[in-house]
């Protein structure tokens, strides 16, 4: 609008734009909190970039919908965090018990 001469007011800042669409409390409780975690999830990033060869909705979300909400994003982040915790916990438990990785079959 500014480049077309239709916007005669001062240019809007990023903060002005955010405040037009969401409240400050929603920004801090949802947008900032959860969207900042997305970059740690390469599959989700590929899906969001919507390029050729992007993963299917089912592969990312586990379901196919026409619209996804912050609730869906929160569920996705919590599920992937839980999956990661399980793997880390198993490795940590083995280290505590003194177990070593072995690719050889043990002889009884």
Determine how many CB atoms are found less than 10 A away from the CB of residue 60: 19
pTM assigned to the model: 0.58
Give domain status of residue 5, yes or no. no
User: Would you say residue 28 lies in a domain?
Assistant: yes
Does any domain span residue 35?
A: yes
- Per the domain annotation, does 93 fall within a domain? no
Distance CA 1, CA 85 (A): 48
Residue 7 lies in a domain: no
Q: Which residue has the tokens 């609730």?
A: 71
Buried b vs exposed e over 33-53: b needs ≥16 C-beta within 10 Å?
eeeeeeeebeebeebeeeeee
Residue 52 within a domain: yes
Total domains present in the chain: 1
Q: Could you tell me the residue range of the domain that residue 67 belongs to?
A: 14-82
pLDDT digits (tens, 9 = 90+) for 27-72: 888 888 888 899 999 999 999 998 888 999 999 999 999 999 989 9
């Amino acid at each position: 609008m500014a480049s077309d001469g239709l916007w005669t007011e001062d240019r809007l800042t990023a903060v002005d734009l955010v405040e037009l669409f969401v409240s400050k409390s929603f920004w801090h409780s949802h947008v900032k909190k959860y969207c900042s975690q997305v970059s740690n999830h390469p599959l989700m990033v590929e899906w969001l970039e919507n390029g050729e060869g992007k993963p299917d909705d089912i592969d990312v979300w586990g379901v196919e919908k026409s619209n996804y909400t912050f609730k869906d994003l929160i569920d996705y982040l919590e599920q992937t965090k839980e999956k990661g915790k399980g793997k880390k916990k198993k490795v940590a438990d083995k280290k505590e018990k003194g177990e070593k990785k072995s690719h050889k079959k043990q002889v009884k």
